[in-house]
Structure 1
């Protein structure tokens, strides 16, 4: 078997299996909605829709903070949710900020969305209980390593090595 240190890094995707795992789970969740006859629903909508259902109308920034994404990402998601008919504009006391709320369609789907979220969380916990080293623990350990030295700094250091020809 070839030594991994001899492999050109352009021929690898070390975290590819992690992305594959997450995308496969996402596809399975989306399939549940398709089987239920829900059209236009993307899995990335579910968290924000649940937050709106639990907390009422929110600004894009409030929603972005609540689901831990950037304002820009939430702005795009909100526009897509509006186009799909899951949210609409809400009255705002402050004319400088725009709030969104669940539309009638979003409110109708909320029980299914909440049930799926709970089922997904239970499934993930069940899977982790079957593994000797849970993915959530791996993420905690990686975050601890990144607290000592950021991904950005590591990347910059390795980019300099690659540009110098020291990284293959």
Structure 2
């Protein structure tokens, strides 16, 4: 193969810059945690910790619904947070469910996590004010466009036009 890059469609990506931007912002938040000696906490776990603090113990299903993620995704997060000492689980009302609760370790930092959340939202608002078309508006506009025609339908049409899909 003379030019393997010509045969690798993954080298082109409209969404990769957004994923990389979010990863960069999360890394900055993680650095803030490290500076405050909040160790072993991923920024991607903070919403769940804040939700548990505000609403009390929840089953994984309840927590997943409250943060709008799949049961599987939250189950994996809970396992990681349990391993890091942020939450504990106990048998729920029946043997099929688990109740997730904050540990004492989590309760000692949850106030700081709420402050970080508020500061992050304020910093993002400042950042959006610097650009002519803020990301929150982009998301809203994309949601409206997808309400008119789903991504699945758009994707299916493009695949139907590609002979390699057949």
Q: TM-score, normalised by structure 2?
A: 0.88
Deviation, 1:9, is 8.7
Q: Unpaired segments of 5 or more residues in structure 2?
A: 1-5
Matching residue of 1:143: 143
Query: Does 2:107 align with 1:107?
Result: yes
- Ranked by relative contact order (alpha carbons within 8 Å, sequence separation 6 or more), the top structure is 1
**Residue 15 (structure 1) shift:** 2.1
Query: Are positions 1:59 and 2:59 aligned together?
Result: yes
Q: Is the 8 A contact 1:57 1:90 kept in 2?
A: no
Name the residue aligned to 1:50. 50
CA apart distance, 1:132: 1.4
**Displacement of 1:135:** 0.6
Q: How far apart are 1:37 and its partner, in Å?
A: 1.4
d(CA) in 2 for partners of 1:149, 1:163? 23
2:96 and 2:65 map into 1 onto residues whose CA distance is: 19
Q: 1 CA distance for matches of 2:124 and 2:110?
A: 21
Q: Across the two proteins, how many residue pairs are aligned to each other? A: 159
In structure 1, the residue matched to 2:80 is: 80
Moved over 6 A (4+): none
Q: Deviations over 1:106-151 (max 9, x none)?
A: 1111011111101000011111122211110011001111111111
